[in-house]
Every structure is written in structure tokens, then in C-alpha cells.
Amino acid sequence: MEENGRIPAHVSIIMDGNGRWAEERGKERVYGHASGVDSVRACTEAAVEEGVKYLSLFAFSEENWNRPEHEVHTLMELMVKAMRNELPVMMRNGVKFVVLGNRKRLSDGLNAMIDDCMSQTAANDRLTLVIFLSYSGKWDMLEAAKKLALELADHPERRADVENMRTEDFSGYLVTAGIPDPDLIIRTSGECRLSNYMLWQAAYSEFLFTEVLWPDFRKDEFRAALAEYAKRDRRYGKVK
């Protein structure tokens, strides 16, 4: 597939359905989150094998802070554990690890672990794995607008730059600066919505909604999604 350029450079996944997966098995919701970590590992490996350059995963939204404290706490602990366990695997597979989102809301322990994983993997270049944590699209755009407004307040002489700003320039103010927009966004568990994810960056993404719950989404499902993407005709508003 790679030869005819149909491998997406950036695949993004809204990892949904962990709770339902656990409930179907008569277990606590957090059991589904733990199993979802195995899907993260499987999809990361598949992405490396298929030559995808960026894999981004929506792991926790700003709105997810409103979940019961026990679930939030367990999820955050799971992230620390997963990072610790997966670091050697990422090093072996040439994976550069990046976390994007409102890190001010994360605990010091989690932030320290993130910093450690990011600095240790910074020179890896086979795949960039981006984890969106405490992220929402509206938050991202609002932060960008604030940054821009404050910059202009401090440097009024840059007014003309702002007036002449293009969409590509604004992208540079978002947390995803330097990362290409997602070519393919997958959402598992049958929900057909963005839930405040990458609102700006998803402007021309292809979407794939699948009934498969995230803990069941493994290498075969990832490869099937790439095969579906290869059939899509992207027109970007033009006539072909």
C-alpha cells in the first residue's frame, strides 16, 4: 500500500468504549481502561509496521474530569504505569512520545513521568505517538487565541502580521504545531461524534466510525482501517 502513497501520514483514534467493554463482562469500568492499554500497544506496533509517521490518541478529554473521582484517579494511575512499562518498548521501536493537552491539571507525579518519557524518546524518529491528555479542541483554540492576543498587546508593532495571518500560521499557535493534520480519524464503540476533539485540525480528515469497542481494537482492526482509508477519494473542495 505504501508504494501508491495511500498510507496516511497521521492516524488519530478516539479510543472509546472501555466502560461498556468491562460492563459486558460484569466488571468495573476501570478494567476496560486497563485492557485498552493493550490496544494502544498493538496499534502503535501496527502503525510502526505499516509506516504511519504520526499516531495520535485521544486518551482523556477536558470533559472527562467530570467523571467520578475514583475513575479519574484510576485512569491517571494507569497512565503512569503504562508509560513506565511501555518506555522500553517505545525505545526499541523508535517511537517518539509526546503528550498534548492542559498539563496544568495533571498531578506532579504524572507530569514528571511524561517529561521523562518525552525527553528519553525525543530523538526517536520512526513514529511519533501523540497522547491527548486533558485536551479539548475548544480549549486548544481558545489558548491559541489568548496567546495571540497577549502577544499583540505586548508587541503592538506586529499588528500587520496579525492582519495578514493565514490559517497555516494560526495552526502554529495550537498544541499540534508542527504536526500534520490527521488524515484519518477513527472512533471506536459506535459513537459518531467528535466530542470536542481536534476541531480545527480535523477540517479535512477522513472519518471512520466502527462498532468495535476500544479494548477489542487491535492490529487487524487497525490494518482494516488503513485499507478502508486507501479507498477514500480526498478532494479538498476541488473538482477532480
> Mind telling me the catalytic residues?
16, 64
Shortest distance in whole angstroms from residue 18 CB to ligand IPE = 4
Closer Cβ to Mg ion, 18 or 93, answer by number: 18
Choose the stretch contacting ligand IPE; rule: CB under 6 A; options: 60-68, 86-94, 104-112, 159-167: 60-68
Q: Is 102 in the site for ligand IPE (CB under 6 A)?
A: no
39 part of the interface to ligand IPE, by CB under 6 A: no
Supply 113's cell numbers: 513521568
Ramachandran assignment for 72, one of left (phi > 0), alpha (psi -120 to 50 degrees), beta (any other): alpha
C-beta nearest to ligand IPE: residue: 19
Give how many residues touch ligand IPE by CB under 6 A: 17
C-alpha cell at 157: 508593532
Q: How far is the CB of 154 from Mg ion (least distance, A)?
A: 41
Q: How far is the CB of 71 from ligand IPE (least distance, A)?
A: 8
Count the residues in the chain. 240
DSSP per residue, the chain: -GGGT-S-SEEEEE---HHHHHHHTT--HHHHHHHHHHHHHHHHHHHHHHT-SEEEEEEEESGGGGS-HHHHHHHHHHHHHHHHHHHHHHHHHTEEEEEES-GGGS-HHHHHHHHHHHHHHTT--SEEEEEEEEE-HHHHHHHHHHHHHHHHHH-GGGHHHHHT--HHHHHTTSTTTTSPPPSEEEE-TT--S-TT-STTTTTT-EEEE-SS-GGG--HHHHHHHHHHHHH----TT---
With CB atoms as reference, the residue minimizing the distance to Mg ion is 16
| Window contacting ligand IPE (CB under 6 A); options: 18-26, 38-46, 93-101, 218-226 | 18-26
Binding mask 160-199 for ligand IPE (x = CB under 6 A): -----------------------------x-x-x-x----
**Crossing angle of the two packed helices 69-93 and 108-121, in degrees rounded to 10:** 10
Q: 12 or 93, CB closer to ligand IPE?
A: 12
Q: Which of 8, 10, 12, 16 binds ligand IPE (CB under 6 A)?
A: 16
Residues between 1 and 40 that touch Mg ion (CB under 5 A): 16
Q: Does 82 bind ligand IPE (CB under 6 A)?
A: no
What are the residues binding Mg ion (CB under 5 A)?
Answer: 16
What are the residues binding ligand IPE (CB under 6 A)?
Answer: 14-20, 58-61, 64, 75, 189, 191, 193, 195
